[in-house]
Structure 1
Amino acid sequence: MPQIIHKSAWGDIPLSTFFYGNVTDYLRSKKSFGSDKIGYIDAETGEGITYKQLWKLANGISAVLYHHYGIGHARAPVASDHTLGDVVMLHAPNSRFFPSLHYGMLDMGCTITSASVSYDVADLAHQLRVTDASLVLCYQEKENNVRQAIKEAQKDAAFPGITHPVRILLIENLLTMACNISEEKINSAMARKFEYSPQECTKRIAYLSMSSGTTGGIPKAVRLTHFNMSSCDTLGTLSTPSFSTGDDIRVAAIVPMTHQYGLTKFIFNMCSSHATTVVHRQFDLVKLLESQKKYKLNRLMLVPPVIVKMAKDPAVEPYIPSLYEHVDFITTGAAPLPGSAVTNLLTRITGNPQGIRHSQSGRPPLTISQGYGLTETSPLCAVFDPLDPDVDFRSAGKATSHVEIRIVSEDGVDQPQLKLDDLSHLDGMLKRDEPLPVGEVLIRGPMIMDGYHKNRQSSEESFDRSQEDPKTLIHWQDKWLKTGDIGMVDQKGRLMIVDRNKEMIKSMSKQVAPAELESLLLNHDQVIDCAVIGVNSEAKATESARAFLVLKDPSYDAVKIKAWLDGQVPSYKRLYGGVVVLKNEQIPKNPSGKILRRILRTRKDDFIQGIDVSKL
């Protein structure tokens, strides 16, 4: 069958626009490099750091790593994989020092693997096994957990236990040393700064970012190159000129910078855009609103649960005048956004669902727009410019320049565009189950990952090789990423995601692998068989995990099993969706034993025990 390739509505920019080299040198080419403008501000203390200061600190960090920890002495320190540098894990909450830490490591050729502060010992141990990190940067408050994780990582699990030593460097000590190291040592280290040829930068791994993958299963390490990272920023900026350009961009970082969305957006995009970023250690609605008011933040980058909360929470009311006066655009990603939340928040701030500020004639309306991507796409591959007249909350955006999309049905047939101008009609079509040109979303472009680290099978399963003559293709066009998401593209180039990956649960903007929870549940004496799915709460704009259990004793209190599991995992992995005990039934599976989760999703009138009714 012929392939139907949906091209970017932006058209393709000249290939000469792309940067080939170390992603830090890409940032050095931007206006922010050496600037005396405040780049990052600590939301709690009000302390700031200019771009000139953060690059000086980055150089000091490079020097400490090089002279005191032997980082960057070898171009290919990992014998089994010459595309890697020294692999360093960064396990810390958001900080105004994050950009300096990243740039300092990347200049010394490091491959960085970021670990969420919500990770427990088991999560950290798994990441150490997958990435083979040899150095962990953390604050003292996390040191004990990291030490336990290093010991745990020596044991075999889904990946073989590590056999190499892993050192810990406290970030407090690193920053102190970086501020006091001699100019002579800084110059010596920077003379050895890593530079990459055009061919090398497309292979050299800058990040091993954790994801459960497009096919589900245990968390995997996504291999993102220097070219992936610089290309993602280039195309994201060019596709959102209203949002990303200007001399007075002021934003708040509430999304963790250990998450690929937060990492790319705040460590790269905002530096590239010469913005001022107010950094929040963790999310607190009132503190976010206080920052918006104090610093007159004019762009808000949020996640759906925060938008839902802002639309309803009475704590927002005193801040409405400042939101009305200063906020130009609101963008969101990382999870589906309920349409009701969009209209409710726009109405709350401006008095109307169109976002029109009637007291400020001539000012563009306030818009709330979405973007789409995965860790595997660095992450952005589709987005709206906030002033695009085609913005619609039902769509995740338009493909960025040079990004191509295919929509492939279950029977392998490429789907054409949806012939629909007004997406408001789509709601009824979906409810009536009318035939639509939907299928799995396949993407290729310059920001697509190199593959999954140490996991050839998952890499092969996640890609379709291109069918065109290789001589006619750009170097990134050799493969299509199978996202696992179900969607369609309309005649304006807008991408709609109508169903997410059938396996993954996206809870509180974090990915949860059902297989991980199922494995834990099967360790309980009472559990014979089980399956976990995600259940959506529009009120909370997130998914929660729900377990279906087959028990030895069907009368056993299943809430005790829920409590038992919840005590072993971080908050976002807990069974807030409750548990269902199957009596005289089995977990539905296909002949090969694969759980048929789609059947579980369609169940009705189940008796759900232990369901969470608390607020996020």
Structure 2
Amino acid sequence: MASTLHQPSHPPHGGDEHVFRSTYPDVAPVSVAVHDTVLGPAAGYGDAVALIDGVTGARVSYARLDHDHRRIAAALAAAGVRKGDVLALHSPNSTVYPAVFHGATRAGASVTTVNSMATAEEFARQLQDCAARWIITVAALLDTARRAAELVPGVREIFVCDRAEGHTGVPAMLASTAPEPDAGIDPDHDIAVLPYSSGTTGTPKGVMLTHRSVATNLAQIRPLLPMKPGDRILAVLPFFHIYGLTCLMNAPLQSGATVVVLPRFELESFLAAIEKHRVTGLYMAPPIVLALAKQPAVERYDLSSLEYLYCGAAPLDARLAEACGARLGLPAVRQGYGMTELSPGAHIVPLAEPAPPPGTVGRLVPGTEMKLLSLDDPGRCAGPGEDGEIAIRGPQVMKGYLGRPEATAEMIDAEGWLRTGDVGRVDDGGWLFVVDRVKELIKYKGYQVAPAELEALLLSHEAIADAAVVGAYDEDAGTEIPHAFVVRRPGTEPLTATELQEWVAARVAPYKKVRRVSFVSGVPRAASGKILRRELRTAREPRRLGESTDREDGTP
């Protein structure tokens, strides 16, 4: 079943244009709170296993998960959490995370998910931007959360998912006898989750996703990626990322599947979890696909339980997708396409499709429209076989960026079309191929890295006169890496690539580290002052002082 073309009644740009529309049956918008959407069916699954700790083997039943999230909601409400409050959830993946997330939304809070690798300063900027009043973290990250809370006003209390002296933990919350709250949630307008994204450019912004947009996107994804009781999904990609939150946590739990949870990616423990728990479905980022395709350790494990492989979060090379599938005796790794601002899904290669074209990111999910905006003529839309900037319209589109109406207006036009910043091409069968990016965002192992943020940091160094950061594909890492082009400031002490990398690493989360440095005589800029990043990406002349390519292993 392919995407088709239709003529909209009110073309956004005026005149004739191509609009692609999903031919899957439309999905009615789901105006239901996200906790009821995901855990509403939980009682019917009863003692079936909802979650397995992939390290310890501890199990949580659906009945227990339903009970626990309701008790957490009651305890949070008793502590003072009210509808409209923002609660920051700062934790790696665990079997407690789903109960905490849905307990917080049931209490009426908007949950802002925080990268567990964030520094205190990065965490504080997010807290301040969204005016968070509450934090839930884990004991191992408590020092970071405390330092972040000290840097901003307004945080009333820090809870923990486990136990820590002086802080209320989830075990104590589960013993609460407070009444379950009725927060009076309006699914169409109230914000369920507030992840942070850099959008097409710039520094991170709060993405307002309503209960309705998240719940509806789950309904849009389900026909193409059906899950069912008995399926076992391995959750190693982080729940704090919208891809992990939707595809690895909410979608399988809504469907009665079992989620095997790992706190981070380490190849041996990842492979062992697949073998021990008989995992049936993998949702990955490109570096994991690369490891499965090439690492010798794969041969030591029984991975025969796997039935399918998916990849998202960043582009995947078609040859690598084929190699990974072939090694595991499965079809090539399938892909999907979306972004945080789309809750996140817009395209998926359907699980039932026998032979999708190599490299495609899929077809439009139900109830979704797409245009390809011409790269040369702003008033024209590209048709099949032509390249254009991908624009999406549908019920999964975000409400907007928190406190940034101008940035929202730049991203979403008056008729609801969201400009993704990605360049795509659609073939005659309705399959989308992402071929380039208009936006400057770097995706390192699935994480978003904003060049502007790193450039601002680099320019604060006394020995740097100018700097630009671009994404450079690294074959060994299987992903883009941040590559800094740096102009030394005359008259300062000599600065080496290693020294600069270490200086940046001390000030940012690990995934944001600069992993390659080139010292140059000048940064190419347009007359307006805008950095000409394409020139940096395509430059072929040798750099004056060579390059450093320190890499970070761990969570993709």
Q: Label 1:614 to 1:227 Cα distance change in 2 as closer, same or farther (>3 A).
A: closer
Q: Which has the higher helix share?
A: 1
Q: Which residue number corresponds to residue 404 of structure 1?
A: 369
The question of whether the paired residues in 2 share the 8 Å contact of 1:546 and 1:579 is answered with yes
Q: Label 1:306 to 1:146 Cα distance change in 2 as closer, same or farther (>3 A).
A: same
Q: Which residue number corresponds to residue 259 of structure 1?
A: 241
Is 2:157 aligned against 1:167? yes
Q: CA shift at 1:530, angstroms?
A: 1.0
Q: What is the correspondence of 1:283-298 to structure 2 with a 5 Å cutoff? A: 283-298=265-280
Q: How far apart in 2 are the matches of 1:539 and 1:415?
A: 37
**Secondary structure in 2 matching 1:128:** helix
Q: How far apart in 2 are the matches of 1:341 and 1:370?
A: 12
The question of whether the paired residues in 2 share the 8 Å contact of 1:529 and 1:551 is answered with yes
The question of whether the paired residues in 2 share the 8 Å contact of 1:485 and 1:501 is answered with yes
Q: CA shift at 1:601, angstroms?
A: 1.3
Q: What is the correspondence of 1:390-469 to structure 2 with a 5 Å cutoff? A: 390-410=355-375, 411-419=377-385, 437-466=386-415
Q: How far apart in 1 are the matches of 2:465 and 2:550?
A: 28
Q: Which residue number corresponds to residue 590 of structure 1?
A: 526
Q: What is the correspondence of 1:119-198 to structure 2 with a 5 Å cutoff? A: 119-153=118-152, 163-172=153-162, 173-182=168-177, 185=178, 188=179, 190=180, 192-196=181-185
Q: Which amino acid letter does the alignment assign opposite residue 81 of structure 2?
A: I
The question of whether the paired residues in 2 share the 8 Å contact of 1:367 and 1:386 is answered with no
**Secondary structure in 1 matching 2:534:** helix
Per-residue CA shift, 1:108-136, capped at 9, x if unaligned?
11100010111001110110111110000
How many residue pairs get aligned? The number is 530
Q: How far apart in 1 are the matches of 2:94 and 2:453?
A: 30
Q: Which amino acid letter does the alignment assign opposite residue 408 of structure 1?
A: L
Deviating beyond 6 angstroms after TM superposition, the runs of 4 or more aligned structure 1 residues are none
Match of 1:310 among 289, 292, 299: 292
Q: Label 1:558 to 1:28 Cα distance change in 2 as closer, same or farther (>3 A).
A: closer
Is 2:53 aligned against 1:42? yes
Q: Label 1:387 to 1:502 Cα distance change in 2 as closer, same or farther (>3 A).
A: same
Per-residue CA shift, 1:312-341, capped at 9, x if unaligned?
11111022xx32x32110001001112222
Q: Which residue number corresponds to residue 113 of structure 2?
A: 114
Per-residue CA shift, 1:447-492, capped at 9, x if unaligned?
11000001111111111222xxxxxxxxxxxx11110111122222
Q: What is the correspondence of 1:164-563 to structure 2 with a 5 Å cutoff? A: 164-172=154-162, 173-182=168-177, 185=178, 188=179, 190=180, 192-196=181-185, 200-214=186-200, 216-240=201-225, 244-319=226-301, 322-323=302-303, 325-350=304-329, 355=330, 366-410=331-375, 411-419=377-385, 437-466=386-415, 479-553=416-490, 556-559=494-497, 560-563=499-502
Q: CA shift at 1:34, angstroms?
A: 5.1
Q: Label 1:457 to 1:606 Cα distance change in 2 as closer, same or farther (>3 A).
A: farther
TM-score in terms of structure 2 length: 0.91
Q: Which residue number corresponds to residue 5 of structure 2?
A: none
Q: How far apart in 1 are the matches of 2:270 and 2:139?
A: 26
Q: How far apart in 1 are the matches of 2:434 and 2:475?
A: 16
Q: Label 1:148 to 1:28 Cα distance change in 2 as closer, same or farther (>3 A).
A: closer
**Secondary structure in 1 matching 2:434:** strand
Q: Which residue number corresponds to residue 517 of structure 2?
A: 579
Per-residue CA shift, 1:508-562, capped at 9, x if unaligned?
2111111111111111112111111110123422111111112223993331223
The question of whether the paired residues in 2 share the 8 Å contact of 1:32 and 1:273 is answered with no
Match of 1:569 among 487, 508, 527: 508
Q: Which amino acid letter does the alignment assign opposite residue 604 of structure 1?
A: R
Q: CA shift at 1:387, angstroms?
A: 2.6
Q: Label 1:549 to 1:236 Cα distance change in 2 as closer, same or farther (>3 A).
A: same
Is 2:547 aligned against 1:599? no
Q: Which amino acid letter does the alignment assign opposite residue 373 of structure 2?
A: V
Q: Label 1:295 to 1:561 Cα distance change in 2 as closer, same or farther (>3 A).
A: closer
Q: How far apart in 2 are the matches of 1:245 and 1:43?
A: 20
Q: How far apart in 2 are the matches of 1:514 and 1:213?
A: 12
Q: How far apart in 2 are the matches of 1:309 and 1:27?
A: 32
**Secondary structure in 2 matching 1:464:** coil
Q: CA shift at 1:386, angstroms?
A: 2.3
Q: Which amino acid letter does the alignment assign opposite residue 174 of structure 1?
A: G
Q: Which amino acid letter does the alignment assign opposite residue 129 of structure 2?
A: V
Q: Which residue number corresponds to residue 361 of structure 1?
A: none
**Secondary structure in 2 matching 1:151:** helix
Q: CA shift at 1:403, angstroms?
A: 0.8
Q: How far apart in 1 are the matches of 2:33 and 2:88?
A: 19
Q: How far apart in 2 are the matches of 1:52 and 1:598?
A: 54
Q: How far apart in 2 are the matches of 1:22 and 1:564?
A: 44
Q: Label 1:291 to 1:170 Cα distance change in 2 as closer, same or farther (>3 A).
A: same
Q: Which residue number corresponds to residue 81 of structure 2?
A: 71
The question of whether the paired residues in 1 share the 8 Å contact of 2:423 and 2:436 is answered with yes
Gaps of 5+ in 1: 76-84, 154-162, 356-365, 420-436, 467-478
The question of whether the paired residues in 2 share the 8 Å contact of 1:32 and 1:274 is answered with no
Q: How far apart in 1 are the matches of 2:42 and 2:120?
A: 41
Q: CA shift at 1:170, angstroms?
A: 2.0
Q: Which residue number corresponds to residue 67 of structure 2?
A: 56
Q: CA shift at 1:609, angstroms?
A: 3.2
The question of whether the paired residues in 2 share the 8 Å contact of 1:21 and 1:195 is answered with no
Q: CA shift at 1:399, angstroms?
A: 0.8
Q: How far apart in 1 are the matches of 2:190 and 2:428?
A: 37
The question of whether the paired residues in 1 share the 8 Å contact of 2:122 and 2:508 is answered with no
Q: Label 1:383 to 1:317 Cα distance change in 2 as closer, same or farther (>3 A).
A: same
Q: How far apart in 1 are the matches of 2:43 and 2:249?
A: 12
Gaps of 5+ in 2: 1-14, 163-167
137-146 or 406-415, larger mean C-alpha shift: 406-415
Q: CA shift at 1:267, angstroms?
A: 2.6
Q: How far apart in 1 are the matches of 2:410 and 2:197?
A: 15
TM-score in terms of structure 1 length: 0.83
For the aligned residue pairs, the C-alpha RMSD in angstroms reads 1.9
The question of whether the paired residues in 2 share the 8 Å contact of 1:533 and 1:547 is answered with yes
Q: How far apart in 2 are the matches of 1:12 and 1:491?
A: 22
The question of whether the paired residues in 2 share the 8 Å contact of 1:301 and 1:332 is answered with yes
Q: CA shift at 1:615, angstroms?
A: 7.3
Q: Which amino acid letter does the alignment assign opposite residue 600 of structure 1?
A: L
The question of whether the paired residues in 1 share the 8 Å contact of 2:235 and 2:249 is answered with no
Q: Which amino acid letter does the alignment assign opposite residue 460 of structure 2?
A: N
The question of whether the paired residues in 2 share the 8 Å contact of 1:4 and 1:406 is answered with yes
Q: Label 1:125 to 1:501 Cα distance change in 2 as closer, same or farther (>3 A).
A: farther
Q: Which residue number corresponds to residue 158 of structure 1?
A: none
Q: Label 1:372 to 1:220 Cα distance change in 2 as closer, same or farther (>3 A).
A: same
Q: Label 1:348 to 1:493 Cα distance change in 2 as closer, same or farther (>3 A).
A: same
Q: How far apart in 2 are the matches of 1:445 and 1:274?
A: 27
Q: Label 1:139 to 1:614 Cα distance change in 2 as closer, same or farther (>3 A).
A: closer
